[in-house]
């Protein structure tokens, strides 16, 4: 079976990073490698990664989410490439079901899971109970639950390497983050690829850990700025989160 490279950007997220890596170790039973790209953390994240069997790229300062993802993509050796937020938890069969979806057709370029904290159609409609319960109920292989969409949220972004080879890396003009995932989906569609939500995969997401550290007003300003950058680049509105 082909290998999946799991790329985790991290900035002072040791508490969640530990849990994320442990959940991958516990629940992922396909060939994989874990690559942590650390954005100048001062909370012991680097030391933790050095004590674990993960690839580590340690940056001296915070270069933002898109650049960290790109550095991880360049370091990856897998045929499937998973960009994963550090405040997520992998679940039993979560990645396996997404991979089955990704390789179900040659024109599937990007796959994302359902989650308890996501925008748009990836947000679960039922009440969240706990991670184990949600995964047990949702992660039963069922291609009838797959849904083609216009965008996949970047919290858990599974990409076919062939797509990266064709359209390139994330656009770093969207640093430190927001709308780089919308931009990548738009480029993928232009290249003839499809985006699919794997409705038979639930991944837990704590939500907005990195940006909670910033002033709310400045975050909203960044979102507005990057939304306008998307419009200026493409001449169209980004897909609404519905």
Domain boundaries of the chain, sorted by first residue: 4-234
pLDDT tens track for 59-74: 999 999 999 999 999 9
User: What DSSP string describes the chain?
Assistant: ---EEEEEEESS-HHHHHHHHHHHHHH--SSEEEEEEEES--SSHHHHHHTTT-EEEEESS---HHHHHHHHHHH---SEEEEE-TTEE--TTHHHHHHHHHTTSTTEEEEEEEBSS-SGGGB-SSPP--HHHHHHHH-S--GGGEEEES---TTEEEEEHHHHHHH-S--GGGTTSSSHHHHHHHHHHHTT-EEEEEEEEE-EE---HHHHTS-HHHHHHHHHHHHHHHHHHHSSPPPP--
Asked whether the predicted pLDDT for residue 149 surpasses 70, the reply is yes
Average pLDDT across the chain, whole number: 95
- What integer pLDDT is reported at residue 242 of this predicted model? 42
Closest CA relative to residue 151, chosen from 192, 121, 115, 107: 121
pLDDT tens track for 121-148: 999 999 999 999 999 999 999 999 999 9
Asked whether the predicted pLDDT for residue 164 surpasses 80, the reply is yes
Reported pTM = 0.95
Looking at the structure, give the CATH architecture of the domain made up of residues 4-234. Answer: Alpha-Beta Complex (3.90)
- For residues 45 and 18, give the distance between their C-alpha atoms in angstroms, rounded to a whole number: 9
- What integer pLDDT is reported at residue 78 of this predicted model? 98
pLDDT tens track for 178-231: 999 999 999 999 999 999 999 999 999 998 655 555 578 888 999 999 999 999
């Amino acid at each position: 079976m082909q290998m999946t490279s799991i790329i985790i950007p991290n900035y002072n997220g040791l508490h969640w990073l530990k849990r994320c890596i442990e959940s991958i170790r516990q629940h992922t039973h396909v060939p994989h490698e874990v690559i942590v790209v650390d954005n100048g953390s001062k909370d012991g994240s680097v030391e933790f990664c050095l004590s674990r069997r993960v690839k580590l790229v340690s940056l001296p300062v915070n270069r933002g989410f898109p650049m960290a993802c790109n550095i991880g993509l360049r370091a990856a050796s897998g045929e499937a490439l998973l960009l994963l937020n550090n405040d997520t938890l992998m679940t039993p069969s979560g990645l396996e079901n997404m991979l089955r979806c990704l390789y179900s057709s040659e024109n599937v370029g990007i796959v994302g899971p359902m989650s308890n904290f996501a925008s748009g159609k990836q947000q679960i409609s039922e009440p969240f109970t706990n991670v184990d319960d949600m995964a047990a109920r949702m992660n039963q292989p069922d291609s009838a639950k797959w849904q083609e969409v216009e965008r996949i949220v970047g919290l858990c972004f599974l990409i076919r390497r062939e797509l990266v080879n064709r359209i390139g890396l994330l656009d770093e003009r969207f640093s430190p983050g927001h709308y780089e995932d919308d931009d990548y989906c738009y480029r993928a569609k232009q290249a003839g690829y499809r985006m699919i939500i794997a409705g038979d995969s639930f991944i837990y997401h704590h939500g907005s850990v990195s940006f909670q550290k910033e002033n709310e007003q400045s975050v909203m300003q960044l979102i507005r700025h990057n939304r306008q950058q998307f419009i200026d680049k493409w001449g169209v509105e980004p897909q609404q989160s519905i």
